[in-house]
Amino acid sequence: MRRRRRGLAALLCALAAGCGPVLNDPYPAAERGQNILYTAFTQQPKHFDPVQSYSEDEATFLYQIIEPPLQYHFLKRPYTLEPAVAEAVPSVRLYDAGGRELQNDADPARVAKSVVEIRIRPGIMYQPHPAFARDESGAPRYMGLDDAALRGVRTLSDFAETGTRELEAGDFAHQLKRLADPHLHSPIFELIAEYLPGLKTLQAELVEAGKTSDGWIDVGDFELAGVEVVDRYTYRISLKGVYPQFLYWLSMPFFGPVPPEVDRFFGQPGMAERNLSLDRWPVGTGPYMLVENNPNSRMVLARNPNFRLERFPCEGEAGDVEAGLLADCGKPLPFVDRVVFSREREGIPYWNKFLQGYYDASGVSSDNFDQAVTMTSQGEVNLSEDMEQKGIRLLTSVSPAVFYLGFNLLDPLVGGGKDASPAARERARKLRQAISIALDMEEFVSIFLNGRGVPAMHPIPPGVFGAREGEAGINPVVYAWQNGAPVRRSRDEARRLLAEAGWPDGRNAETGEPLIIHLDTTPGGLGDKARSDWLAKQFRELG
């Protein structure tokens, strides 16, 4: 669970108002008094296999189960990598084509290979799982199952025995090989294959193997040139050239561990037909394990009894002590025994159920913003008096995400076209600049986001590696730096650029025809018409 920097996203948490019995508790009496967090999810998770999962909705669950080598510090900003199951954040060693080691600041053109060596902490154990169960002879109890053995099996709990084992370096190597499995369609394969030697070759070999096999293929039978298991707790990844961002990949489940025996367990005939797969039932060493998976209705995480001792951090950023964010310094994690997620497709029912006590936390949407919070003349967000009286607490943070409107550079009008002359490209560039200035995103944030947002200056959100602060971080086309702050350029400047682009007052300088720009979008909710009307207004004011 990761808490982000105080800022613009908002979360409301309900606090206990008294110690007496709750007469209208919406949950079973058997759960009363237990350490359970009740919350909700809106989007149905599609993939839990770490080789495929790549969405925020799935990460809510998967990051509590699968532990990559690295993670982000809970409180430090900008986001800072720290060890998760690795002993330390690994260093990257650079080599030239002759195998000679180079300095870290060497010219990237001289670097032929980067090597990352990762050592895993000993003693980390997996969650209980039938794939680890052993019989009296020490052999896997649930391998080689036939239809008779699987009769009556519908969930993992139908297997009577479970086991565990220690996390090993080979588990990470096995998962990296799975990136090449053509049946799994990993969304990062093409990108990683450009840097990880042998990944494309491995995929070609797996494709060939699939032509003679109708069933599951064990990637453990194949080699991956760019990955080497050094010993039980150490593995080494070799990359082509220089890839400074690679360490950040090591904080994602794509680079987490998958035990080969778990892969083999789910690969047995009859498992997929029973919805028993790694894609539905992830296996890991994290603080929680998935014990109920009904993505249309309810998901449940339970404490992993084999989770090691981890403690809440005792350091963060300035202001964290005053905000109470270090009050739990040194306490063992996790704090909650069980997390129950119920699906809520719409925001208003979610909010109403939160107020009724069904959920312990809720986001603040535009529909309930005025009811939940008040804003000062300085733009500060405070909890409304009504919410305070209900014992509700407001937590605010910056969400590291951006959304944007983009220009199609292949379009002859705004992009100049593929075969356009330099003069035509320059006119298209000035048209793009005029539109960018004219779209008043400060006004958009105020109207449609209730002031909960910051106009993006570039694609990387604040707090993320590569984001620039201050004057160096502004978009100079749209903003000027004045008195220590960015100021949006005027519409007069936008109109000047529009005229230089050949469209004075929004009409073609030669023919007088009006400027027509096509917006490619998708149909959505009720708020889309208001946003479209706002866009039209911005263009009218431009010319």
Which pLDDT value is given to residue 173? 99
**9 occurs within a structural domain:** no
Which letter does DSSP use for residue 208 in this model?
H
Per DSSP, which regions of 28-112 are E strands? 36-41, 70-72, 81-83, 92-95, 101-102
State the average pLDDT for the chain: 91
* CA-based nearest residue to 138, from 168, 163, 171: 163
Instruction: Find the mean pLDDT for residues 327-344.
Output: 97
User: Between residues 3 and 337, which one has the greater pLDDT?
Assistant: 337
397, 7 contact by CB (below 8 A): yes
27, 97 contact by CB (below 8 A): no
70, 83 contact by CB (below 8 A): yes
Q: Residue with structure tokens 């958009």?
A: 444
Q: Residue with structure tokens 């449609």?
A: 448
Token pair for 15: 């606090």
- Residue-by-residue DSSP string for 475-531: -TTTEEEETTEEEEPPHHHHHHHHHHTT-GGGB-TTT-PBP---------STTHHHH
Domain boundary among 245, 274, 303: 274
* CA-based nearest residue to 310, from 80, 31, 141, 83: 83
Which pLDDT value is given to residue 492? 96
Percent of the chain residues past pLDDT 90, beyond the cut: 73
Half-sphere exposure of 5 (CA within 13 A, CB side): 17
261, 132 contact by CB (below 8 A): yes
**248 occurs within a structural domain:** yes
User: Between residues 233 and 536, which one has the greater pLDDT?
Assistant: 233
Which pLDDT value is given to residue 4? 36
pLDDT band at 18 (very low <50, low <70, confident <90, very high): very low
Instruction: Find the mean pLDDT for residues 418-441.
Output: 94
CA separation for the pair 441, 26 (Å, rounded)? 42
Domain boundary among 274, 309, 336: 274
**166 occurs within a structural domain:** yes
**469 occurs within a structural domain:** yes
Instruction: Find the mean pLDDT for residues 394-401.
Output: 78
Which pLDDT value is given to residue 504? 96
CATH number assigned to the domain comprising residue 111: 3.90.76.10
| Cis status, amide bond into 78, omega within 30 of 0 | yes
Least confident of 32-46, 51-65, 209-223, 386-400: 386-400
Q: Would you say the pTM of this structure is higher than 0.75?
A: yes
User: H or E element: which one contains 338?
Assistant: strand 338-343
User: Between residues 444 and 368, which one has the greater pLDDT?
Assistant: 444
pLDDT band at 1 (very low <50, low <70, confident <90, very high): very low
9, 398 contact by CB (below 8 A): yes
How far, in whole angstroms, is CA 115 from its chain's centroid? 26
**306 occurs within a structural domain:** no
| Distance set, CA 543 to CA 381, 384, 411, 435, 441 (Å) | 36, 41, 21, 10, 18
| Cis status, amide bond into 334, omega within 30 of 0 | yes
Residue 151, exposed/middle/buried by CB under 10 A (0-12, 13-18, 19+)?
Answer: exposed
283, 262 contact by CB (below 8 A): yes
Q: CA 25, 31, 36, 42 torsion: positive or negative?
A: negative
* CA-based nearest residue to 315, from 157, 100, 82: 82
CA separation for the pair 174, 255 (Å, rounded)? 10
Q: Residue with structure tokens 């797969």?
A: 277
**164 occurs within a structural domain:** yes
Domain region containing 123 = 83-274
**324 occurs within a structural domain:** no
**238 occurs within a structural domain:** yes
CATH number assigned to the domain comprising residue 505: 3.10.105.10
| Distance set, CA 148 to CA 144, 152, 158, 162, 378 (Å) | 11, 9, 14, 20, 70
Describe the crossing of helices 491-500 and 528-542 by its angle, rounded to 10 degrees: 70
256, 206 contact by CB (below 8 A): no
Instruction: Find the mean pLDDT for residues 478-501.
Output: 96
Domain boundary among 215, 247, 274: 274
Which letter does DSSP use for residue 90 in this model?
P
Q: Residue with structure tokens 């405070």?
A: 382
Using a CB cutoff of 8 Å and minimum separation of 24, what contacts does 354-359 make?
A: 354/12, 354/14, 355/390, 356/26, 357/14, 357/22, 357/24, 357/25, 357/26, 358/26, 358/38, 359/14, 359/38, 359/39, 359/40
What's the full length of the chain, in residues? 543
Number of domains in the chain: 2
Q: Residue with structure tokens 């699939």?
A: 210
CA separation for the pair 217, 269 (Å, rounded)? 12
* CA-based nearest residue to 343, from 302, 293, 296: 296
